[in-house]
Amino acid sequence: MEKNHYQGLINKYRQYLPVTDKTPVITLNEGNTPLIKADNLAKKIGIKGNVYLKYEGANPTGSFKDRGMTMAVTKAVEDGAKAIICASTGNTSAAAAAYGAKAGVRVFVLIPDGYIALGKLSQAMMYGAEIIAIQGNFDEALEMVIEISKNSPITLVNSVNPYRIEGQKTGAFEIIEALGDAPDYHFIPVGNAGNITAYFKGYEEFYALKKSSHLPKMMGYEAQGAAAIVRGERILHPETIATAIRIGNPASWKQAERARDLSNGTIDCVTDDEIIEAYKLMASTEGILAEPGSAASVAGLIKAHKSGLIKENSTSVCILTGNGLKDPDSAIKYSNAEVKKTKADLHEILKVIDLSEKISR
């Protein structure tokens, strides 16, 4: 194999992961995602410092879940599993379905009926998962798959599976390698709280190895209608337009609080309106379309800046967890764009192209 050919995060970071030379690596060459400097966005928000966006939508199935899934499915196959299962608000099911297809195992996914973005559902269908849509939310689906995996030979691949966290921690490694140090602030959406747990683990490990001079402040953001950690209680009926993080009982709740406390960070929430504003701002100023759930990190950055939490000349990284193409319905619903229809006639088209109008961004 070509030495310089990037072959996924297990091959890149194998010394930091629980694999051996004999482990059958199941990979779609995930990871190695762009860290994009967002000067236009920083200026628009009024931040005097560096803002970077880690575009996890560039992963093979379009979300950060691929980082965890390559590890979880690799270890499941190594342990002889023939089937995997997960509960999902959409992205985990797409990733499980894809890596399961690659591994040749059966994939069962439980989703909340009517609450997953169309792109994610279409992925799980195309990759060949067996899809069960329940009349209930993610938290209920997770309780059921935990029960099923305990009592049958099916491996659970939600982020309560520690291999998921191992894979996802590599996002922090990539950020430290790209910046030469850890950022000052790490903004991240919080749903089931696996990803904030994983990133903090990655930051802690590289800090212990002296690859960074400090730990970033972990700044986690739940959606206001699903802000269990912020409110300190399970939310039975979570609601938000950001369906990816429509979760009322985060499985890694304690670990998220640990990350917050050890890093002097925060776990706060953002409203749907703040999420939509950030969602549109990223696209219009930076040319980056991330899904609404991902926009919670940028909405958090805006909120933290307004409260004076961001020091001047500091470096902030926002994790954009999922690709905006997964949810075209939201893009069309919330964009202000108007599609102007005309005859296929040059004069008619030129009438529509009004150069006296100024571009507004």
Q: Which residues bind ligand F0G (CB under 6 A)?
A: 63, 65, 88-92, 159, 189-195, 244-245, 291, 293-294, 321-322
Minimum distance from residue 59 beta carbon to ligand F0G (Å): 11
Instruction: Judge contact between 72 and 164, C-beta under 8 A.
Output: yes
* Total residues belonging to the chain: 361
Question: What separation in angstroms does the CA of 318 have from each of 53, 68, 187, 295?
Answer: 5, 19, 5, 9
The distance of closest approach from Cβ of residue 261 to ligand F0G in the complex, given in angstroms and rounded to an integer, is 17
**Which tokens sit at 215?**
């730990």
Whole-angstrom distance, CA of residue 121 vs CA of residue 261: 36
Closer CB to ligand F0G, residue 137 or residue 315? 137
User: What whole-number distance in Å separates Cα of residue 68 and Cα of residue 200?
Assistant: 14
- Joined tokens for residue 205: 């490990």
Smallest distance, ligand F0G to C-beta of residue 353, A: 36
Q: Report, in Å, the least distance between residue 235 CB and ligand F0G.
A: 14
Within 13 Å, how many C-alpha atoms sit on residue 168's CB side? Answer: 31
The CA angle 188-76-130, to the nearest 5 degrees, is 80
Kindly tell me which of 97 and 176 has the beta carbon lying closer to ligand F0G: 97
* Choice between 48 and 231, CB closer to ligand F0G: 231
Smallest gap, in angstroms, from Cβ of residue 207 to ligand F0G?
21
* Least Cβ distance, residue 22 to ligand F0G (angstroms): 30
Report CA-CA distances (Å) from 239 to 26, 129, 138, 236, 242.
Answer: 35, 26, 11, 10, 8
Minimum distance of ligand F0G from residue 292's CB (angstroms): 8
Taking the least distance from each CB to ligand F0G, the nearer of 265 and 293 is 293
The number of angstroms, rounded, from the C-alpha of 187 to the middle of its chain's C-alpha atoms is 11
Residue with Cβ nearer ligand F0G (78 or 325): 325
Whose Cβ is closer to ligand F0G: residue 7's or residue 115's? 115
Cα 45 from Cα 67, distance rounded (Å): 30
Q: SS3 of 315, please?
A: strand
Would you say 195 or 263 has its CB closer to ligand F0G? 195
Nearest CA-CA partner of 47 in 327, 357, 318, 295: 318
Q: Please give the C-alpha separations between residue 16 and each of 39, 168, 192, in angstroms, as whole numbers.
A: 33, 12, 24
Residue with smaller CB distance to ligand F0G, 171 or 189: 189
347 Cβ contact list (under 8 Å, min separation 6)? none
Nearest residue to 278 via CA among 34, 36, 38, 37:
38
Question: To the nearest whole angstrom, how small is the minimum distance from the Cβ of residue 42 to ligand F0G?
Answer: 22
Closest by Cα among 296, 358, 219, 284 to 43: 284
- Of 90 and 265, nearer to ligand F0G (C-beta) is 90
Shortest Cβ distance from residue 245 to ligand F0G (Å)? 5
